[in-house]
Chains A and B, each alone.
Chain A
Amino acid sequence: MTLRVPPDLELLKASSKTANMVIDENRLQQLLPDVASFFQLLDALHTDGLAETPPSNTFQARWMER
């Protein structure tokens, strides 16, 4: 498992731009510790054991009555 680089302010600026969100620098600075914490938590998801495992929400083509 490769751990991602801990986020910094520049990364958050780029991420928020990619997400088309306008977040000022002060607010990004406030978010930084929480985002770093979430990234650390979510790093655990990327294990070698996933192999060919499909996502649990795989699309069903069957039509349902509405």
Chain B
Amino acid sequence: MVWRKLRRQIPSKHAGWSANVTNDVLDLPLREVADLLRRRVVSPLELVRNALERIRNQEPRLNAFARLTESRAILAAEQAERELAAGFWRGELHGVPVAVKDLYDIAGLPTTCSSKVRHDHIADDDSACVERLLAAGAVIVGMTHTHEFAYGIMTPTTGNPWNVAHIPGGSSGGSGATVAARGCFMAMGTDTGGSIRIPASVCGVVGLKPTFGRVSRFGIASLSWSLDHAGPIARTVGDCATTLNVLAGYDSRDPGSADVPVDDYLVELEHGVQGLRIGVPSNFFFDRVDPEVEQLVRHAISTLQVEGAEIVDVKIPMAEMISPVEFGLCMPEASAYHRDTIYSRAELYQPDVRTFLEAGMLLPAVDYIAAQRQRTLIQREWQAMFRGIDAIIGPSVPVAATRRNEMTINWPDGTEEPISQVYVRLSAPANVTGLPSVSLPCGFCQSGLPVGFQIIGRPFGEARILRIARAYERLFQWGAVKPPC
């Protein structure tokens, strides 16, 4: 496939930083370019300069970035170059250009959450994820646009690299767009109702929402403390796995952080699916889904069955309760977080976010408590459903990327559904349950827009779902197809 052809074009060994950074190098997956950096085939400094040039060329169409951090990136690349030349290798992110969502604090830089409300907010300290990325030698090139305060799925500032008249998804739309467009090799997102997996799916890349508490949220602007997750968007399953190796771990500064041992997420990556049991829902996940999306996802499931996985029918319990719990938790918590500013500066918010925040202020506390109580029941029911299976599979989202001015979907059964509910509907279960979920591409619609499917696993079962994802990706490298931007 395409990535194997690219590897053959690159010289295998050089005495110094002698290979030019071509477009082919910028198009490689993270782990491939990491190998070139480690072997000193490619210079970190030249790599980041070329990445920044490509991003600058793309930005007039995509507008994926809230800000670029060029001078810091150059300094980090120079340090990486010195260290690699001295034989000191920090790991697979060493010298690799990455981005973070404009929710993550980076010391001394604005974290605006793509909002006028925060236009003058300068972070004092690095967020936990940024600390870990910098310690791993990653080169942060900029901060990507988010739907304002992560409270939406459209990221209206940004275009989809496959067709800029369409949304990149959200709220981590800037991260999804720049990774898909090969501007950088990995970008951090957050996921409260699907905000890593939605852009990953509609931009044709891989997005990983780890188990609740697996990755520290310290220093990330909160949307909903009960539902927020931090995780990577990258070009391949292996790229997400190696990034999770850097990010995962207990952090006492995040009250939701889980003090659970960290796996090596690469160890079982290539083990295949022989003998694994995968649940395919007979309800909920394939209800009101675009027929093209369903067809591609079911083909992915069949592929895994041919590869040796046992496919088992499962019934999603309490399916009708997922959306009420998602919104019952998110709305009051988000409004509580924004209480001071919604009182004093409501007009600075975008209309859709302002509506959610003001409405959230008016919801009774007993609704919030009821959502927390139903969440307890849902967790018990899902635990029972997972007896004897390793994962469940379904579409990441019901439709491919909609047009940027489209506010509702009209389904063949005559119902009309707001876009915000459409895209959250299938991703919310993994937020409500806190279970790990990875979205990866499974093909393209006739319109040329990507389609993704998600694999949801057991608590702290990231290694298992990445292994299943990799088994499919080995056969169908949809992520190697470049968008036209």
Contact = CB atoms under 8 A, between A and B. Distances in A.
Interface of A: 12, 15-16, 19-23, 27, 30-31, 34-35, 38-39, 41-42, 44-47, 49-50, 53-57, 64-66
B273 to A, nearest CB: 32
B285 to A, nearest CB: 19
Given A55-B369, A57-B226, A66-B253, A31 B359 contact: yes
Interface residues of B, number: 32
Contacts of B373: 50, 53-56
Contacts of B343: 20-22
A36 B324 CA distance: 14
Interface of B: 226, 252-253, 255, 320-321, 323-325, 327-328, 331, 342-343, 355, 358-359, 361-363, 366-367, 369-377, 379
Given A44-B321, A45-B321, A53-B377, A38 B372 contact: no
B187 to A, nearest CB: 30
Contacts of A15: 362
Contacts of B226: 56-57
Contacts of A55: 369, 372-373, 375-376
B377 A16 contact: no
29 contacts: A15-B362, A16-B361, A19-B362, A21-B343, A21-B362, A27-B358, A31-B358, A34-B355, A34-B359, A38-B327, A38-B331, A38-B363, A42-B324, A42-B328, A42-B363, A42-B367, A42-B370, A44-B320, A45-B370, A50-B370, A50-B373, A53-B373, A53-B374, A54-B373, A55-B373, A55-B375, A56-B372, A57-B226, A57-B372
Contacts of A50: 370, 373-374, 377
Contact of B362 (A12, A44, A54): A12
A21 B362 CA distance: 9
Contacts, number: 84
A33 to B, nearest CB: 10
A31 B342 CA distance: 14
A26 to B, nearest CB: 13
Contact of A45 (B362, B374, B379): B374
A12 to B, nearest CB: 7
A31 to B, nearest CB: 6
B324 A19 contact: no
Given A53-B376, A55-B376, A65 B252 contact: yes
Chain A CB count within 10 A is highest, among B252, B327, B359, for B359
Nearest to B259: A64
Contacts of B363: 38-39, 42
Chain A to chain B: the 5 pairs with minimum beta-carbon distance, closest first: A55-B372, A45-B370, A56-B375, A15-B362, A44-B324
Nearest to A64: B252
Given A44-B321, A45-B325, A21 B372 contact: no
B362 A35 contact: yes
Contacts of B379: 56
